[in-house]
Amino acid sequence: MKRFLVTAGGTATAWHISQVASQYFKDSIEIEVSDINDPYLVPTTVSAKKVHKVPPVVADNYKDVIAGIIKDNGIDAIIPLIPQEAFLFASDSDFIRENNILSSAASLKTTELLADKYYMFKTLSSLDIPTPYVYDRSELTSDGIYLAKPRLGFGSAGVKVIKSGDEVSEDTVIQEYCHDDDYDEVTVEVFNGDELKIFSRRRIATKAGVCVKMEPVDNNIFYPYIKKLVDNVDCPRAFNVQFLYNKGEWKLFDCNLRLGAGTALSSAIGFQLTRAFLASLAGLEVDNDWFKPDDSVKAVLRVYQEIVVR
C-alpha cells in the first residue's frame, strides 16, 4: 500500500485526487491531506485516510511540520498543490532527498524556467513556441494595454489588465495582452509518459480562476507545441498549459506544473489524467484506454456538492 500526502486538502484539486484514488486504487493507494483548517472543515476528510492540520505555507516551521507528517505516517510521495511548494518540494530538492520520498512536482530547474514568467518567456521563445511578449518598462506606450502578472507563481492569482501609467510592483512582469472575441482560452492537459498524451478543452466559463464549463477542441492544433516543450524541458509526469489566441496564432501563456481543479472536467469526459498520474506515481501500470475521451460528449459542467461531516 502506497501512502501519498496531498497538500491544500480543501481545494477542488485535492478532492478530485482523493475521489479518483478511492474509486480506482482503494487496495493500493491511501491518500492523506494537509490543510490549514481543522479536519471537519476539509471536504476530503470524508474520503482521505487522514487530514493533518498545518500552518500556512509561509510559516517558518511549515517544512518541519510536513516532514513530521511524512515520518510519522510512512508517506511515500508528496503531491504539492500550493504554488510556493513548487520550490519547497521540487522533485530534486534537499527536502525530498532528506525525507527519502517522491514528489510529483517538477525539478528545481524546470520550476525556475517555467514558474518565473520572464524565464518562461525566454524559454518558450528559444524553442520557437509562440508565447506572449514580455515588455521592458521602457517599451510601454502611452496608449498601450498590457497584462501584469506576478513574476513567480501559477494560475490567475494577482493577474490584472493595466495601462502604461499604472503602478505595478517590481516583482511583476508586463506581458502582451492577448484577446480575441472569437476564441476562448484553451487548457491542454498533459500526460508526459512513455507516449505523450494530451487533451484540449475550451474554457467556456470560469469562477475564481477555475474552469466550470468546458467543451473539447481539436488536439492537433496544440500537440506540436506540447511535444516540443516536453522534448526540450524536463516536465513533470502530469501538468497542464494554457493558450490564448492573438494576432492570428495560439500563444502558450502559462504552464501549471501540476494537476489543476479543472482536471476533473477532463477526467469526466474520459481523459483520465489523474488516474494515470496516481498509477504512475505508485509504480503501477498505466493503461492506454484511460486516455480515450467520449466523442459523444458536447460539454462538461461543474456543479457543487454538499458535504456532511460528523
Check whether 224 has a pLDDT greater than 80: yes
Asked which of 90, 105, 120 is the last residue of a domain, the reply is 105
Domain CATH code at residue 219: 3.30.470.20
- 119 within domain boundaries: no
The whole-angstrom separation of Cα 151 and Cα 149 is 6
pLDDT at residue number 153: 62
pLDDT at residue number 157: 63
Which helix (DSSP H) or strand (DSSP E) does residue 267 occupy? helix 263-269
Domain CATH code at residue 94: 3.40.50.20
Check whether 154 has a pLDDT greater than 80: no
* Domains contained in the chain, number: 2
DSSP symbols for 5-18: EESSTTSHHHHHHH
Check whether 155 has a pLDDT greater than 60: no
pLDDT digits (tens, 9 = 90+) for 245-292: 998 999 999 999 999 888 999 999 999 999 999 999 999 999 999 999
Asked which of 76, 105, 134 is the last residue of a domain, the reply is 105
- 151 within domain boundaries: no
DSSP symbols for 188-212: EEEEESSSEEEEEEEEEEEETTEEE
Q: Average pLDDT for residues 32-42, to the nearest whole number?
A: 97
- 175 within domain boundaries: no
DSSP 8-state secondary structure symbol assigned to residue 291: B
Q: Determine the structural domain holding residue 84 and report its residue range.
A: 2-105
